[in-house]
Amino acid sequence: MYLKNGKYYFSGQVPATQIAERYGTPVYVYEADLIERQYRRLQDAFSIPNARIYYACKANTNLQILKLLRSWGAGLDCVSIQEVQLGILAGFQPSDILFTPNCVSLAEYEMAHEIGTLINIDNISILEQFSQRFPGDKVCIRINPHIMAGGNSKISTGHIDSKFGISIHQLPHVLRVVESTGIRISGLHMHTGSDILDVEVFLNACDILFGVAASFPDLEYIDFGSGFKVPYKEDDVSTDVEEFGREISSRFQAFCASYGRDLTLMFEPGKFLVSESGTFLVRTNVIKTTVSTVFAGVDSGLNHLIRPMFYNAWHSIDNISNPEGRSRIYTIVGYICETDTFAVDRKLSEIHEGDILAFHNAGAYCFSMASNYNSRFRPAEVLIYQGKDYLIRRRETLEDILALQETDVLSLSPADHS
Ligand SMILES: *Cc1c(COP(=O)(O)O)cnc(C)c1O
C-alpha cells in the first residue's frame, strides 16, 4: 500500500479506504503482487538451479496465499500436521511439503509419514522411535549449531539450552542410531532464529552444517531454515538477499563438489515472503486525552495483532483517512481488557474518531496468531490480486464462537461415569 496523489492505494490501484468500507474493520489486506515480488527476488538471488524455497506457512496459512505460492513453484514448510493438511488442501504434493515440528508425538510423525511428506526430526528420542518403526526410510534431521542470531531470545533458536534441534555435540549418538536401525539421513536442517542481521554469522553456521554433512552419505538436500529479515521501520537493517544468495550459492556449489553429488539447497522463509504484503486496517473508536497522553483507541487489540505486545515488535502506522493532516503525537491502544498498546508516542497525521488506521507489515504472524479473547470475532481477510479485491476469509460471527459449545447446558443431565 502506498500514497499516490494524497490517497492510499493497494497494489497502486485499489483505494485503501474503499476496502475498509466494503468489508468493514478490522480487516487484513494482502497484496499478492508483493508476495510474488519477494518470492521471485529470493529465488533469483540463488545462482544455482537446484535451490528451492519452502514457504514456512505458520506465518500466514490462508489457503489462497498457499495456493499462490504453490502456483509460483514454492514448496511448503509445516510445523504441525494440521498445516500439512492445509497444504494438501491447497494442492501441494506431499513430496513438496517438509514436516518440521518440534516436541510432537510419534503418532503425529506417523501421520505425516502416511501422507508422504518429507520428515524433519528434531530430537534423538523420536529419531530412535521413528527409525525402529520405519527402518530403511529417509528422514531429515534438525541440527542446532548453537550460533546466536539476533538479540531477541523469543525468536532465537540456536543457543545451547534451546529446545530446538539436535545439538551438534550429539552427532555421535545420531550416528549410532543410523548404524543400528538403517535409517537414512537424506536431509540436514537448521533454523537458527528469525533475526539474521549479519550474513557472516549465518555463513558460519552453514559451514558447520557442511562439516556435519561429511558424516552422512545419503544426503539429498540441506535446508538452511530462515532468518531473512525485512524492514519494519524506515531505517531498519534488512537481509541483503542478493549478496547472501551469491555467497551461499558459491559455497554450496563448492560443498557439493567435495561431497561428490549435487544436492538441493533449501530455504524456508515465512516473514520474508508475506510480511510486507499485509496491511491491517482498523477504525478509531475514541480519542481519549488524559493529563499526559493522547490515546487513539481502535476496534482491535492483542486478540488480532499480538506482535507489538508479544515481541515488542514495531509496526509502522498511517492514518489513511487523513493522509495529509498536521502531525500529532498519539499512543495507539486496543479495546481489549488488558494493556494492549500497539504503539507509544507515534507521530501521525491528525486522527479523528472514525478514521481508519493502517498497520504495515501485517502479513506474517498477525492473523495466524489471532484469537477470540474477550469473545471478539477474528477479522476478515482480503486479497488484492491483479487489481481486484477478494474476500478470502469472512469475519467471524457469534455463531462461529458458539459452534463448538453446548448452548443448552442447564437442561443437560450430568454425564454418567459409573
Ligand atoms: C518459523 C519458522 C520458519 C520461518 O521463519 P521466518 O522468520 O518467518 O522466516 C522457518 N523454519 C522453521 C522451522 C520455523 O519454525
Would residue 398 count as lying in a domain? yes
Would residue 410 count as lying in a domain? no
Indicate the DSSP class of residue 193: B
User: Among the atoms of ligand 1, which is closest to the Cα of residue 269?
Assistant: 9
Written as nine digits, the cell of 118 is 518429507
Q: Does the beta carbon of 268 sit less than 6 angstroms from any atom of ligand 1? A: yes
Atom 2, ligand 1: residue with shortest CA distance: 56
Q: Are 19 and 42 contained in the same domain?
A: no
Please compute, for residue 350, the number of CA atoms within 13 A of its CA located in the half-sphere on the CB side.
Answer: 4
Would residue 413 count as lying in a domain? no
Q: Are 238 and 218 contained in the same domain?
A: yes
Q: Are 385 and 327 contained in the same domain?
A: yes
CA angle at 399 for the pair 396 and 403, rounded to the nearest 5°: 105
Q: Are 88 and 15 contained in the same domain?
A: no
Q: Are 305 and 396 contained in the same domain?
A: yes
Q: Are 259 and 112 contained in the same domain?
A: yes
Q: Which of 270, 296, 312 is the last residue of a domain?
A: 270
CATH number of 77's domain: 3.20.20.10
Domain span at residue 287?
Answer: 2-29+275-402
pLDDT at 67: 98
How many of the other CB atoms lie within 10 Å of CB of 59?
25
Q: Given ligand 1 and candidates 58, 121, 143, which is best to mutate, with the most ligand atoms within 8 Å of its CB?
A: 58
pLDDT at 164: 87
Would residue 133 count as lying in a domain? yes
Residue 166 CA to residue 162 CA, distance in Å, equals 10
For the CA atoms of 93, 95, 96, 100, what is the dihedral angle to 10 degrees? 120
Would residue 360 count as lying in a domain? yes
Q: Are 132 and 63 contained in the same domain?
A: yes
Note the Cα 317 to chain centre separation in Å: 21
Q: Which of 209, 237, 270 is the last residue of a domain?
A: 270
User: Among the atoms of ligand 1, which is closest to the Cα of residue 365?
Assistant: 8
Distances (CA, A) of 149 to 156, 170, 198, 226, 227: 6, 21, 8, 11, 8
Residue 174 CA to residue 185 CA, distance in Å, equals 10
User: Among the atoms of ligand 1, which is closest to the Cα of residue 194?
Assistant: 7
Would residue 100 count as lying in a domain? yes
If one counts the domains in the chain, the total is 2
Cis geometry, peptide bond prior to residue 323 (ω within 30 degrees of 0): no
Q: Are 49 and 143 contained in the same domain?
A: yes
Mean pLDDT per segment of 10 residues, for the chain of length 418 residues?
94 97 98 98 94 98 98 98 98 98 97 98 97 96 79 54 88 97 97 69 87 96 91 84 91 96 97 97 98 97 97 96 97 97 98 98 98 98 98 98 86 72
Q: Does the beta carbon of 226 sit less than 6 angstroms from any atom of ligand 1? A: yes
CATH number of 19's domain: 2.40.37.10
Q: Are 159 and 104 contained in the same domain?
A: yes
Residue 349 CA to residue 327 CA, distance in Å, equals 4
Atom 11, ligand 1: residue with shortest CA distance: 225
Would residue 386 count as lying in a domain? yes
Q: Does the beta carbon of 270 sit less than 6 angstroms from any atom of ligand 1? A: yes
Residue 31 CA to residue 22 CA, distance in Å, equals 17
Q: Given ligand 1 and candidates 154, 268, 307, which is best to mutate, with the most ligand atoms within 8 Å of its CB?
A: 268
Q: Are 195 and 302 contained in the same domain?
A: no
List residues bridging with 347 in a β-sheet: 329
Q: Are 65 and 24 contained in the same domain?
A: no
Strand intervals (E) in 300-399: 317-319, 327-333, 341-349, 356-359, 380-385, 388-393
26 Cβ neighbours under 8 A, 6+ residues apart: 280, 281, 282, 283, 298, 299, 300, 304, 379
33: nearest Cα among 59, 9, 53:
9
Q: Which of 230, 253, 270 is the last residue of a domain?
A: 270
Would residue 378 count as lying in a domain? yes
Q: Are 62 and 175 contained in the same domain?
A: yes
Atom 7, ligand 1: residue with shortest CA distance: 194
